[in-house]
Amino acid sequence: MPGAAAAFGLRTRLVIAFLLVAAVSAVTTAALTYRQARNAVLVRAQDTAVTSFREEVEQFVPRLPLDPDTLRWDLYDIAARAKPHPWIVFAEYGSLRASSGDRPVSGVLTPELRRTTLTSAHGSFERVVKDGNAYLAIGMPVMTRVVAGGAAVPSGLVLFAVMPMTNEDVDIDSLVTAARDGALPGLAVALVPALLAARSVLRPVRELRRAAHSMGGGQLDTRITVRGRDEMADLARTFNESAARLERSVEELREAGARARRFASDVSHELRTPLAGMLAVTDVVDEEAGTLAPNTARAVRLISAETGKLAVLVEDLMEISRFDARVAELNTDEVDAAEAVRNTLSGRQWLGRVRAEVPDGLRIRLDTRRFDVIVANLVGNALRHGAEPVTVRLSARGDTLITEVHDSGPGIPPDALPHIFDRFYKADAARSRSSGSGLGLAITKENVHLHGGTIHARNAAGGGALFTVELPFDGPTSGSGAPDGPSHAHGGTGPAESRDRAETIA
Amino acid sequence: MPRVLLVEDDPSVREGVEIGLCQRGHEVHAAVTGEAGLEALDAFRPDILLLDLMLPAMSGVQVCSRVRETSQLPIIMLTARGDDIDIVVGLEAGADDYIVKPARTEVIEARIRAVLRRAESPIDARPAVEHHGELDIDRAGHTVLRSGDPVALAPSELKLLLHLSAVPEQVYSRQRLLKEVWDHSFHSDIRLVDACVRRLRAKIEDPSRDPRYIQTLRGYGYRFGPL
């Protein structure tokens, strides 16, 4: 019954099973004991009665001639020596009837008893229930020796003893009561081991659940204490082994990831130094190119142009490495968002190409350099991949500043949309490498997250790609932004700052 | 053309920057270590010092502090982005500006020119010397006296003080100061302003009291006064 099993808890099921077993064994034991004891009691009483009555009858010599009165006196004698309980003695001889009781004839005696008693020299007995009372009826023929030394023959006189078995009934009733009184406390006592067993099973189960939960929460060093050598201990041991293996693999993965990140960071560092030298001389090369032979001039200009792009790529790689290593710093300042956007656009000579719908008075706490990167990357992206007019729109909703960059191009292909912020993802495979480092949107996303904000890309209803950035006005709160960063995400003016100094800084 | 002392340990950067600046007519002396750079100061008498932060032995920051002990020579640090803590320490040590490597020569030259540009002289008929509390500011002579004693100010400190005191009680945002005093064309590092304000305060303010001349308006920026 899986339904019923599911409806009750493990503890309930265990207790019910224990009680059932206890009840069945108690009832069975009581029933068997009852039957055995009842038989023993009845047989003993019956044997005693039959034996003593037989002795009485054997020693009984009736006074002749038989008359009811003298016979009755003799019967009184026999009745007085009744064993183990009082009995009433009846005598029958032909039509003569006598008894030690009130009535000469007993209603308990059956014709069958009378017949077997007459034919058997040893007499006969039977248990009779009359009017709800149990009686033992014993019939004994009185024997007489016709010839001295010869076999005894029935004299025709038959004595019956009728013994009420009330005492035995009482005994048996008390047996039943005893069985009942023993079984009920027995069941109650069975509850204790049932609960103990349930506890001993359930405690490891509870521990296991807690441990599994904690593992799921990322506590990979969670282990269970192994107690004893039972199945639960096996389970705990298996759990611990699996947890250790899991922890090891995760650790290996983490190390591999850290190695890869360190490698990327080292490579960019190593690339940067020669690039710094090369980039410093590109101006010289460009200026002199006009005086060189045409092919040499083209070659020189190519080197110069590619050096510039390489420098941008390496800078972007380093920026990404810092995000990966979580050492990116946030230097926040309270600024007017509109002014910040206008500065970005004017700094890149974009004011004529981009429509800025930026209301004044939206003051926000952010890292101006990073916000510049966010806006510049989105606008640059729109100008490169979309089409003019490009619109930058600022608005406030609750405690977030919404920055939207909308272009009028064909929009983003639906299959590219989920990957648009991936590193080195190119929406158009045929697109030339020359347009950006391929890291611009990935860096933009990281910068937004560092501020505790969100960024979304979609295609606007009227066509064109629409990027939406939401940033909290108060700057990042603790817990967002750089999760493992050492207090870098909390604004301020720099890590070397002491607190009292920070108070006097704008 | 300004004479540039370049201290840079990496040969390719040293040579690249030297070639680039020479090409534009600067007279460049390149030193490989901080010690060599300090030695060359007297003989070469540069107009400006281009100083790499990461130097073997004596670091750029140490060189910067040593130079500031005796001179108010304009100093621009060469750094890599990500060396954020070093930038802060370098600015505290008295550098006027910094350039993130790799950079084109035109960027380096623009920074040099911005740092060397003298604060604009007053065009209206102001008195040559202004008195603000215990400060005497001579706009034409570019000198500042505190209680009659001359105060040695680095170029960026002097420019910031002149700029703020030109319109007392006017509040300037840090972005605006970056643009107008440092000539940074767009969003740059506001720590430049904060470090300079701290250095300036250390020289003209009474350390036991709240700043009197360069006052902070939290969330908005800085202003000169009111006294």
Query: Choosing among A333, A342, A344, A473, which should be mutated to test the B contact, i.e. which has the most B CBs within 10 A?
Result: A333
A chain contacts of residue B173, beta-carbon cutoff 8 Å: 335, 506
Cα distance between residue B213 and residue B133, in whole Å? 9
Please give the pLDDT value at position A150. 67
Structure tokens at B117: 């540009």
Of B73, B21, B72, B30, which is closest to residue B52 (Cα–Cα)?
B30
Contact: A276, B102; criterion CB under 8 Å: yes
Provide the CATH number for the domain formed by A330-503 in this structure: 3.30.565.10
Q: What is the DSSP string of A196-248?
A: HHHHHHHHHHHHHHHHHHHHHTT-TT------SSSHHHHHHHHHHHHHHHHHH
Please give the pLDDT value at position A445. 93
What integer best gives the mean pLDDT of chain B? 86
Domain-by-domain residue ranges, chain A? 2-173, 231-323, 330-503
Nearest CA in chain B to A347: B186
B chain contacts of residue A343, beta-carbon cutoff 8 Å: 175, 186-187
Of A423, A239, A469, A240, which is closest to residue A316 (Cα–Cα)?
A423
Tell me which of B78 and A429 has the higher pLDDT: B78
Please give the pLDDT value at position A191. 83
Q: Over the stretch A395-448, which tens digit does the pLDDT of each residue have?
A: 998 889 999 999 888 888 888 888 889 888 876 654 544 456 788 899 999 999
- B70 close to B38: Cβ distance less than 8 angstroms: no
Q: Which residue is listed with tokens 């899986």?
A: A2
Nearest CA in chain B to A504: B216
B chain contacts of residue A372, beta-carbon cutoff 8 Å: 186-187
Please give the pLDDT value at position A427. 63
Cα distance between residue A239 and residue A213, in whole Å? 12
Question: A121 CB contacts (<8 Å, ≥6 apart)?
Answer: A141, A143, A152, A154
Contact: B175, A339; criterion CB under 8 Å: yes
- In angstroms, the separation between the Cα of residue A454 and the nearest Cα of chain B is 22
Q: In what helix (H) or strand (E) does residue A300 lie, and over which residues does it extend?
A: helix A294-324
Of A421, A363, A355, which is closest to residue A389 (Cα–Cα)?
A355
In terms of CATH, what superfamily is B3-116?
Response regulator (3.40.50.2300)
> CATH top-level class for A231-323?
mainly alpha
DSSP tag of A423:
T
Question: Among A27-41, A144-158, B33-47, B165-179, where is mean pLDDT lowest?
Answer: A144-158
- In angstroms, the separation between the Cα of residue B106 and the nearest Cα of chain A is 7
Q: What is the DSSP string of B15-78?
A: HHHHHHHHHTT-EEEEESSHHHHHHHHHHH--SEEEEES--SSS-HHHHHHHHHHH----EEEE
- In angstroms, the separation between the Cα of residue B220 and the nearest Cα of chain A is 6
CA dist list (Å): A128 to A40, A171, B71: 18, 18, 137
- In angstroms, the separation between the Cα of residue B215 and the nearest Cα of chain A is 8
Which one of B14, B16, B175 has the shortest CB-CB distance to A335? B175
Which one of A279, A504, A505 has the shortest CB-CB distance to B104? A279
Question: A310 CB contacts (<8 Å, ≥6 apart)?
Answer: A271, A275
- B129-224, what's its fold? Arc Repressor Mutant, subunit A (1.10.10)
**Which amino acid is it at A470?**
E
Please give the pLDDT value at position A6. 56
The answer to whether domain A2-173 has CATH 2.60.120 is no
Cα distance between residue A139 and residue A118, in whole Å? 9
| pLDDT tens for chain A, residues 1 to 506 | 455 555 677 788 888 888 888 888 888 887 887 788 778 878 888 888 888 888 888 877 777 777 777 788 888 888 888 777 888 888 888 778 888 888 777 777 888 888 888 777 778 888 888 877 788 888 888 877 666 666 777 777 888 888 887 766 677 777 777 777 777 777 788 788 888 888 877 887 888 888 888 888 888 888 888 877 888 788 888 888 988 998 999 999 999 988 888 888 788 888 888 888 888 888 888 888 888 888 999 999 999 998 988 888 888 888 888 888 888 888 888 888 898 898 888 888 888 888 889 898 888 888 888 999 999 999 988 888 888 889 999 999 888 999 999 988 888 888 888 888 988 887 665 454 445 678 889 999 999 999 999 999 988 888 888 999 999 988 776 444 333 333 333 333 333 333 333 334 44
